[in-house]
Structure 1
Amino acid sequence: MNRFLFLFLSFLIIHQKSFSQSKLNQEKEIDSIYKLNIENTLKTQILEEFITKRENLTKENISYAYHKQGILYSFENNYEKAISVTQKSISIRIDTDSIDYYKLNNSFYNLNYYYKVQGNEKKQKEIIIKLQSQPVKNKFTYKSYIDLGFIFTNKGDYFNALINFNKVIENYTSYKDPRTLLKAHEAVIATYSYIDETKRYLEEINYHINSIDNILKNHNYLSTDIGYKNNLANIYENLNKPFKVIELYKQVLKVYEEKNDFGNVGRVYSNIGRVYNKLKKRKKANYFFDKALEIKTDKKAIAAVNSNMGDYLTPEIKIRYNKKAIGILLDRGYDETVLSLKEITNSDYTLDILDYLIENVEASIKNYESTLKNDDLNKAIEISILVDKLISFIRLESIVDTSKLFWIRKAASFYMKAVTLSYYKNDVSQAFYFMEKNKALLLLEGLNNTKGSNKKESLIISLEESIRQHIGKEKNLVEYILNEKRGFGIFCNENEKIFYKLENVPELINQVDSLKNKMSKYFIYKDDKEKYKRLANNVFLKLFPFKNSIKKIKNKGLIVIPDYKLQRINFEALIPDALTGEYLLEHTEINYLLSASVFEKLNRNTKKSIDKILAFAPVDFNQKTLQSLKRSKKAMQEVASICETELFIEEKATKETFIKELKNYSIIHLNTHAGLNKIDNDPWIAFRDKKINLKELLSLSNNAELVVLDACNGASGKQEIGEGIMSLSRGFFRGGAKSVITTQWKANEKSTNEILKVFYKELSAGKTKLKALNIAKKNYLKTHQLSETSPYFWASLILIGNPDSIKIIPSTNYSNWVWILLFITLGVIFLFLKRNKLYLK
C-alpha cells in the first residue's frame, strides 16, 4: 500500500466525529484498524496515530489500542516493541476507575507469551505471578498455569508442573473454556511422557487420555496438538508397545513433514529408529537414523540419533556415540576433563546430557566387566561424580517433594551403578559416599532447610568421619545398598573396612520377604521354628559373607544402616549359627540409622525440654473401627511409677493436647493404634478423638531425645526407592527427634508392654537406650518359652538413631520404694552380721 493511501486512511479514522463520544464505538474503531487488510507494520503506525491524535479517547481504549498494537508487533517478531506497548496497556488499564479484568488479564497473558518467546524465563514468571494475583480470574489466568507448568517441566520439576495443570482442570467451572481444558490435559500427558515411570502412574495417565477423548467428542470443532500423539508414543514406548509406538510416530511424522517442521521431523526419525533398534531390526533402524542425520537444523535431534545408534552395540561404541551426542549439544568436542557442572546447567539441554552421562556410566561398567581396563574405570568414576552433582542440582531446583522423590528414585538406580564402579576400583570411601546419597536425602534436606539454605546440598558424612564417630573397640558398623538386581555391603570395625558384593540378590530378596513374613507370625509347630532357623541363618550368611563374621560381630555393638527390603526386618532375629539356633540379639546390641549423615545432623541439635515422659494412652477411640486397648492404661501407669511422667489417659489423650505439648518433653511415649491410609499409604497414629498423619507430623517440631511408638506397624509406610520407608518414625526425625523406638509389624500388646517396662527400669538406672532395650528383650526370652520366644513377640521393637543414655527423673513413688528396699536390705544384712557375731562368740 502506498504512503498516500495510508495517510488517507489515517485521516478518515482519526478525524471522524460520528462515534467520538462512544467508548464502545472507539473500541470498534480500534478493532477495525486491527482487521484492516494491510501490512501489520502499517496497522501499528495507524494505531499510534489513533492513540496520539484521536479526540476524547478514553483510558480504557488507549489501553486497548496498545494491547492490539502489541499483538501486531508480535506478528512481525518484534517482541521488544510488543513488550513495550503491552506494558503501557497494562499500566493505563490498572489506572482506570473501573478495571476490565478480562482485558487486563488478557494483556498480562500476552506479555507472558512475549517473554516466553524471548526465552526470558525470569520475567515470564514475574508476569505470571502478577496475573495470578489479580482479584478476578478468567481463562487467561488458568492458561497461565499451563505456561508456568511447562517452565517446571523443562526444569525437571515434573510434579510441580502437574500441580499447575491440575489447577486448570479442577477449576473448569471458573472459566468454562473447553480449549483451555483440552490444553491442560494435553500438558499432563506431555509431562508424564518425560517421567519414565509410566506403570507407576498408568491410572492417572489413562484418566487424562479418556478426558481428552471426551472433550473432542463433545466439542467437535476442537482437535489435539500434534505433539499430543508424539507424547503418547513416548508413553507407549515405556509400556513396551513398540508397534503402537511406531504407528503413532508415523502419524506425527506425516503432519510435521506437511508443515516443513524439519527439527521435529528429525527427532521423530530418530525415535522410530530407536524403536526398531530395540526390536533388533537393525536395517530399518539405520534407515531412519540416516534420514534423521540428513536434517542438520536441530542439534537435539542429531544428538539423539548419535546416542540411539550406540544402543545395542558394544559398550565401548555406545560410550563413543554418547560422547559425540554431548559434544553436539554443547557445540564443541567432548572431553571429560573440561566438562563442568556450570556448562551443563547453563545449556538448554541439561536433562538430555544427564541421560547420556548416566548411560555412559552403565556402559562403562559393562565395558570394564569385559575388558578389565582400569583407565576406563577411572574416567567412569569422574563422570559419576559429575552426574551426582547434576542430579543434586536438578533435585534442589525442584520445589515440591514429589518431584524431589522422582529425582531421588532416578538417582537410586545411578548410585547403584556408581557403587558398582567403586567396588571394581576397590574404593570403599567413594562407595560409602554414594551409599549415603542413596538414603533419606529428602529428610536430610528437610533438616537443613533453614532460611536461605533450601537450595544448598546437604552435607554427606565421609566414611572416615563416620568411623571416627561410631566405631571403636566395642562398636562395628555395616551399611548396605540394595535393589532387585544388585547389592553391596561395607562392614567396618576398628581394624578393617570390608567392602563386599551380595551374591544372588534376587534369591536374597525373596528370602528377606519370606523372613519378614515369618518374623511377624508366632511359631505354632516345632517345624515352624526349624524352618525359621534355616532361613534366618541363610539370610545372615548372605548379609555377612566375609570370613569370621560372627567372631567380628560378637560382644560388640553393631550399627546397621539398611536399604530397601532390609529396612523391613530386624537383624537381631537373624541366626548366625544354625546349630546353636541363637539369635543375633544374644551376641550383639543393634541399633539402626536412616543414614550416617542424618544421624550426624540430628546429633548436632541441642535439646531444651523437660526430662520427663510425655505419655498418651487413649484406651478407647471415637472412631469405632479402632479396637479398645484395655492393657494400655495399666502399662502407662506402670511406666509412670518408674519415671516421672505427664500422663494423658482416655479422654485427655487428644490430638490437640499432643500437638500443644510435643515440644516440651525429652521422651514421648504413644501407646495407641497406628496404621496406613488405604488410598495413599500415608501412615497415621490415633488419639482419642482424631488421627494425625505423616504429612501433619512432618510439619511439627519436637525436642525429643527419644520417641517410643508403642503401636502396631509404627515403622510401616510406603517404600520410596532411594529414600526409605515413609513411616511415622520419619515424621518424628524430621521434627528433630534424636532416636525412635518403633514396631516393624503388628505387635503383641502383652509382650511389648513387658519389654518396655523393663526397658524403662534399666533406662532410669542409667543404662543406654540400646543396652536397656537389649536387656529387656533378653529378659523376655529368659522368662518365656516355646512359642512365646518367637521373634513375633519380641523382635518387632527396634531402636533407630542415637543409642546413648538419656537423663531421666525416676518417679517419686519408684524412688521411695527403692529407698525402702535398700533400707530393708541393709537391715537384713545388719541383723545377719550381728547374729553371726554372737554365734562366733
Structure 2
Amino acid sequence: MNPDSLLQVQFDRAVGFLKKGEFDFSIQSFENAILTINKGGLSDKNLIYRTYVNFGVLLNRVGDRKRAIEFYNEAEIFTIAEYSQNSNKLIPIYINKGNIYNDYEDLIKAENYYKKSLSLIDIVNGSKWESQLYHNLGVIYYKKKLYSEALTYLLKTLNIKTKQKTGNTSTTRNIIANCYKKLGNYEEADSYYQKSISEVKEINGFHFYLLGDYYLNYAVFQDQIGNSDKVLSYLNLAYDVYVKNFGGKHPDTAHCLKNFGDYYSKRNDHLNALKYYQKALIAETDNFNNSTVYINPSMDELDPQLSILEILKPKANTLQELYSKTNSIPDLDYSLQTYDLCLDIIDNIRIAYQDEESKFALSKNEKDTYTEAIEIAVELYQLTKDVKYKEKAFRYAERSKSASLLSSLNDVNAKNFGGISIELQEQERDLKLNIAKYREFVHDEKRKQTPNRDSISGWQNVLFNLNEEYNQMVLNFEEDYPEYYSLKYDTKTITIEDLQSRLDDNDVLIEYSISDSALFSFIISKSSFELERQKIVKDTFDYHLEEVRNCLKTNDFSNNSADYYKRYTRSAYQLYQYLLSGKDSLLSGKNLLIVPDDKMAYIPFGVLLTKEADSTTMNYRNLEYLIKENTITYHNSATLGFKNHSTSYGVFSSKSVLAFAPSYEGVNDSILFTERSYRDKLYPLPGVKEEVNNISNVIHGDLFVDDLATEANFKANASNYDVLHLAMHTIIDDENPMYSKLVFTQNSDTIEDGLLNTHEIYNMNFNARMVVLSACNTGDGKLLKGEGVMSLARGFFYAGCPSVIMTLWTVEDKTGSNLMSNFYTFLSQGLHKDDALRQAKLEYLKTADSLKSHPYFWSGYVTLGDVDPLYDDSLVNKLMYFAFGSVGIIFLLLFRKKLRRKSVA
C-alpha cells in the first residue's frame, strides 16, 4: 500500500473512532497516522493538513491541550509552507488555537487568533466560519465581563445561523442566557436556557456532551434565582452526561463536581463541600487519586491552569470556614497549604503568559487570593506564635506586588545568564521593537477622528505574524537553553534573613498589604521583624488618601482657605496614625524604606503629619512633617529592591550625567502634534535650562538643550552615561499606560517622532545607576491591582535602571529647578539618594514663603529603588583633603620662596 493510501486508511479509522466517542482508539489511530507523515513520501497535502487539525481537535476534547497546541503549530507551519500566510485553511487552526487559549483564560491571545481568522475570511470573501468567530468573540467579551458587548456578537451569530438554517444554535443560545443572567434579565435568561436544552436534545439526543454544559449552567441559574429544589437535579443530569462522554477524569467532569461543592458550601455544609472539591481535584488531574480532603496534589501532579485554581480556592475558603466552626488549628493550616498551592499555580500561569496585558489581568483577578492567604497566615501566627507563619505572610505580601515586573526582569536576567547568545538577544529585542512599533501605529490610528480601517487591518496582520514569530522564538529558547528555562521560572522572593543581611543598621523597611477590613504592616530592620494587623474600614482609609492627594496635586491656590488647610492636616495626621503611629521606638531617626500597597503609592509619606496641627493658624512651613524626622524611599517590592542590590560606587567623569532640556517653542504641527490635546499641554518650560546648567556646575556631564534635546540623540547616547536627567514634559495615558510619553524637542529631520513611549523604554537597555525624571507626573499613572502604578518610571526599571527619582504630580518649574540643584549638590557630597533629596526639600522649606511652603511645591519628587550614594563620601573627603592639602603645600612653598628672597636681599 502506498503512503497516501495508508494515511487515508489511518485517518478514516481515527475519525470513525472519534465520531463514536471511542477516544483512546482514535488517539492511537491518529498517532499511527503521524508516524506515516513523519516517514515522508506523501503527495496528498490536504490529507496531511486534515490529519494535523483533527488530531488537535481530538486532543483538546480529551483535555490534552498542550499536545493539541503542538499539533496545531505543526498544522500552521505546514499550511503556510504549502499554501500561503493568507490561506483560508489557516482559519480552523487559528480558531482552535484561540479556543485553547480561551480555555487557559489567556483572553488576549485568544482574541488575537479569532480576529486574525476574521481577517482571513475577508480576504477569501467567505462566511463559512463567520458565525463561529462571532460566537467565540462573544465568549471572550463575556469572560471579560463586558456582557453587553458579548450579547452584540452572540446575537449576530444567532441571526446568521437562523437565516442560513445551518448549524446548531444551542451553544450560542446558552451563552446568551448567561449574559442575560449577568445583566439581571432573568426572564430572557430562562427562555434561552430552555431553548438551548430543547434544541440539543432534539438534534443530538439526550446524552450529547454539550448537554452537560447546558444542564450545569441552568443549575447555577436556578440557584441564583432561589429555586434550590431544582439545583441538585440539574447538577446530577450534567454529571451523568459528562461521565458518559468523557469519563471520571476530565476538566468538564471536574468543573461539574466543583459546582456540587459550591452548592454545599453555600449552605454551610462544609464537609460535603470539601468532599466534592476533592473529587473535582481528582477528576482534573491524571495521577492524583487521594480522596482525603486534607491532601492536595503536588505541582508535579497537575497542569497549572485557572481551572485548577477555581477548585482549590473554594476548597481553601471552605477549610477556613470549617475552622471558624471547629476552632481546629489544623483546619486553618490545611487552608493555608491549599492557598500556598494556589499561589504556586498563579506564578506558573503568569510565566506562561507572554503578553503583558494577560499578566496584568491575572494580577488583578488574583490579588484577593494573595490577600486571603495573608489573612490566614497572620491569624495562624497570632494563634501559635510560630514565626514561620509570620514569614509566610511576608512572602505572600511580596508575591502580590509587581509580580509581572518581577517576572519580566527574571526573563531579562535569564537571557543574560542562560547561555543565549548576544546575537539571539538582539534578534529578540528587534522583534519586540517591531511589535511595539506596529502596536503604536494601530493605537495612534484608532485615536484619530476618522481612522483608516485598511491601515489598521494591515498593521494588525503584520502584528499577528510578528507575535507568532516571537512566540516561536520563546519556545525555542526554553527548549534549547535549559539554564534560561530554569532562571526564567525562578519565582522565589527575598527571604527575611536575606533582606536583613542587606539592610543597613539605620534602615527600617515597612511593607504594607491592605484588604477591605485590615491593614497589615511588616516592619523589618537589621535585627528585628514585627508584624502588625489593624482593623480598618477601607472606604474611610481611602477617603483620607484621596483628601491628601487632592490637596497635594492642586496648583490652584485661589481657594487655599482655612477649611482646605484643615482638611489636609486632619487627613495627613489620620494617615500617619494608620500607617506609622505606635512605632516610634522602631522608627525614630531611621531611614524608612516603604513598600506601599494599593492607593498608598499615590502619596509621598514625607507629608504625613506626626502631630496634630493647630487648625486656627494656617502655616504650612511649620507643620510636623514626617520628612523632618526620617529619610524616605520607596520600592515596588522588597525583592525588586534588594534581590540584585548593588553597592558599587562611581567616580566623577566627563560622562557622569546626561541631561536633556527640550524646547517647546512653536511646536511643529506638521509632525505629530496634530492632536490639539497634545499641543495644548506643551507650554514652554523656561526653568529647565537653568536646572540642567546648575546640575552641570555640580556634577560634570553633557547637556542636550533646545534643538539638541531630541529623541534620536537620547536613544543614541543614553546607554553611555551613569546618570540620566530628563527635564521635560510628559503626556500620561491612563487608559493605555504603555503609551504614556516623554516629550523631546520636535525635529522634522529625523525618523523619530519626538515622543518616547513607555513601551519603547521597555525595549531599551540602560547602564545608568540613576535616572531622574524631572518631568510632570512621571510616577503617576493607572493603578492596577497586584501590579501597582503603571508609570513611566516602571519602564526605566525594566530597562535596567535600579534607581529612579520621579514626580507624583505636575511639578512647578522654578521650584523643581531649585530642588534639583540642591539634590545634586548633596549627592556630590556623598549622601545617599534618599537623604540627598530629603536635605534638598528641608533646605527649600527653610527659605520658602507661606505660599511656596505648601507641599505641592516641594514634596512631589520621590526616590524609587536603590538609594546607595553615587559617590563614596570617603572618596569625596579624600579628594577634599587632597585639594586643601595641595593648596596648603602651594602656599607653604610660596611663603618659603618669599622668605628666601628676603634673606637674599
TM-score class normalised by the smaller sequence = 0.7 to 0.9
Instruction: Say whether residues 1:535 and 2:480 are aligned partners.
Output: no
Q: Map residues 732-747 of structure 1 onto 2, 5 A cutoff.
A: 732-747=796-811
TM-score w.r.t. the length of structure 2 is 0.75
Decide which moves more: 129-138 or 765-774.
129-138
Q: CA deviation at 1:71?
A: 4.8
TM-score normalised per structure 1: 0.81
Match of 1:310 among 258, 264, 268: 264
* Alpha-carbon separation, structure 1, partners of 2:59 and 2:97: 12
Work out the CA distance in 2 between the residues paired with 1:587 and 1:649. Answer: 38
Name the larger-Rg structure: 1
In the alignment, which of 670, 691, 698 is matched to residue 642 of structure 1?
A: 698
Q: Give 1:377 shift.
A: 1.2
Work out whether residues 684 and 694 of structure 1, in 8 Å CA contact, stay in contact via their aligned partners in 2: yes
Of 601, 605, 620, which aligns to 2:643? 601
Check whether the contact 1:309–1:321 (CA below 8 A) recurs between aligned residues.
Answer: no
Confirm whether residue 434 of structure 1 aligns to residue 405 of structure 2: no
The change in CA–CA distance for 1:699 and 1:361 in structure 2 (over 3 A counts) is same
Alignment match of 2:359 (pick from 392, 404, 407): 404
The 1:116/1:414 distance shift into structure 2, 3 A limit, reads: closer
- The answer to whether the aligner puts 1:166 opposite 2:110 as a matched pair is no
Q: Are residues 496 and 469 of structure 1, via their aligned partners in 2, closer, same or farther at CA, if it must alter by over 3 Å? A: same
Distance 1:531 1:73 in 2: 74
Amino acid of the residue matched to residue 544 of structure 2?
Q
Once residues 270 and 702 of structure 2 are traced to their aligned partners in structure 1, the CA distance between those partners, rounded to angstroms, is: 67
Query: After the TM superposition, which residues 267-278 of structure 1 pair with which residues of structure 2 at under 5 Å, given as runs?
Result: 267-278=213-224
Question: Which stretch shows the higher mean deviation, 365-374 or 653-662?
Answer: 365-374
Write the mapping of 1:291-302 to structure 2, written as runs, cut at 5 A. 291-292=237-238, 296-297=243-244, 299=248, 300=253, 302=256
2:521 alignment partner, SS class: strand
Residue 542 of structure 1 aligns with an amino acid whose one-letter code is Y
Please list the CA deviations of residues 159-195 of structure 1 after superposition, one character each: whole Å capped at 9, or x if unmatched.
Answer: 22222112112343223321223222222333444x4
Partner of 1:466: 499
Q: Are the counterparts in 1 of residues 239 and 257 from structure 2 also a CA contact under 8 Å? A: no
Of 312, 320, 335, the residue aligned with 2:292 is: 335
Q: Distance in 2 between matches of 1:73 and 1:527?
A: 79
CA contact (8 A) 1:519 1:792 kept: yes
Could you list the per-position Cα deviations for residues 335-366 of structure 1 after superposition, in whole angstroms to 9, with x for gaps in the alignment? Answer: 3564223455249xx53332121112233444
- 2:197 aligned partner, one-letter code: L
Alignment of 1:492 onto 2:514 = no
Q: Deviations over 1:614-670 (max 9, x none)?
A: 111112144444222222112111111111121111121111221222211111111
Residue 782 of structure 1: aligned partner: 846
How many angstroms does 1:325 deviate by?
A: 3.3
For residues 228-247 of structure 1, the aligned pairs below 5 Å read: 228-239=172-183, 242-247=186-191
Q: 2:599: which partner in 1?
A: 565
Q: Does 1:768 align with 2:832?
A: yes
Structure 1 counterpart of 2:536: 503
Residues 755 and 665 of structure 1, relative CA distance in 2, 3 Å threshold: same
Q: 1:497 offset after TM fit, Å?
A: 0.8
Q: In the alignment, does 2:611 pair up with 1:577?
A: yes
Counterparts of 2:586 and 2:564, CA distance in 1: 30
Mean Cα deviation higher: 106-115 or 650-659 = 106-115
Q: Secondary structure at the match of 1:448?
A: helix
CA distance in 2, matches of 1:178, 1:713: 48
Residue range with higher mean Cα deviation, 131-140 or 410-419: 131-140
Q: Is the counterpart of residue 526 in structure 1 residue 562 in structure 2?
A: yes
CA distance in 1, matches of 2:147, 2:767: 42
How far did 1:367 drift? 4.1
Structure 1 stretch 558-567 or stretch 674-683: which is displaced more? 674-683
Deviation at 1:414, TM superposition (A): 0.2
Aligned to 2:823: 759
Superposed CA offset, 1:473-518 (max 9, x none): x221211112455432222344451322341122111221222111
Change (3 A) 1:602 1:251: farther
Query: Closer, same or farther in 2 for the Cα pair 1:420/1:111, shift >3 Å?
Result: closer
Q: Distance in 2 between matches of 1:321 and 1:569?
A: 46
Structure 2 portions without partners, runs of 5+: 19-25, 382-388, 416-483, 615-622, 674-678, 747-753, 874-878, 896-905
Report how far residue 138 of structure 1 moved: 1.5
Match of 1:184 in 2: 133
**Structure 1 residue 614 corresponds to structure 2 residue 658:** yes
Q: Does the CA-based 8 Å contact 1:409-1:722 persist in structure 2?
A: yes
Deviation of 1:124 after TM superposition, in Å, equals 1.1
| Counterpart residue identity of residue 596, structure 2 | P
Query: What residue in structure 2 maps to residue 282 of structure 1?
Result: 228
Deviates more, 1:298-307 or 1:429-438: 298-307
Pairing partner for 1:590 from 632, 648, 654: 632
Query: 1:90–1:104: 8 Å Cα contact kept in structure 2?
Result: no
1:397: how far off?
A: 2.3
- Aligned partner of residue 133 in structure 1, secondary structure: helix
Answer yes or no: is the 8 Å Cα contact 2:781–2:791 preserved in 1. yes
CA drift of 1:75 comes to: 3.3
Of 341, 357, 381, the match for 2:336 = 381
2:509–2:592 contact (8 Å) kept in structure 1: yes
Alpha-carbon offset, residue 559 of structure 1:
0.7
How many positions carry a matched residue from both structures? 750
Task: Specify whether residues 516 and 446 from structure 1 end up closer, same or farther in structure 2 by C-alpha distance, changes over 3 A only.
Answer: same
Cα distance in 1 for partners of 2:605, 2:274 equals 41
- Kept in 2, the 8 Å contact 1:306–1:324? The answer is no
| 1:265 matches 2:202 | no
Q: Which amino acid aligns with 1:255?
A: E
| Structure 1 residues 441-492: Cα deviation after superposition (integer angstroms, max 9, x where no partner) | 11111111123237513220112322332263x2212111124554322223
1: CA distance, partners of 2:725 / 2:159:
53
Change (3 A) 1:744 1:244: farther
1:125 maps to which residue?
72
How big is each residue's C-alpha offset from its partner over 1:74-102, in whole Å with a ceiling of 9 and x where there is no partner? 23545655666688689989879xxxx88
Tell me if 1:655 matches 2:609.
Answer: no
Q: Which runs of 5+ in 1 are unaligned?
A: 1-47, 53-61, 810-814, 832-841
Secondary structure at the counterpart of residue 614 of structure 1: strand
- Listed one character per residue, the Cα deviations across residues 715-763 of structure 1 (whole Å, up to 9, x for unaligned) are 1222221111111111000011111010111111121111111001111
Letter in 2 for 1:630: P
Query: What is the rounded CA distance, in whole Å, between the counterparts of 2:734 and 2:341 in structure 1?
Result: 40
CA distance in structure 2 between the aligned counterparts of 1:251 and 1:315, rounded to whole angstroms: 33
Distance 1:495 1:130, change over 3 A: closer
Q: Partner residue of 1:212? A: 157
Q: 1:171 to 1:262 in 2, by over 3 A?
A: closer
Residue equivalent to 2:741: 684
1:430 Cα deviation after fit: 0.8
Contact kept in structure 2, 1:540 and 1:574, CA below 8 Å: yes
Distance verdict in 2 for CA 1:383–1:527, change over 3 Å: same
Paired position in structure 2 for 1:70: 11
3-state DSSP of counterpart to 2:164: coil
- Matched to 1:396, the amino acid is I
Distance 2:649 2:27 in 1: 57
Tell me the SS of whatever aligns to 2:89.
helix
TM-aligned CA distance change 1:286 to 1:617, over 3 Å = same
SS state at 2:742 partner: strand
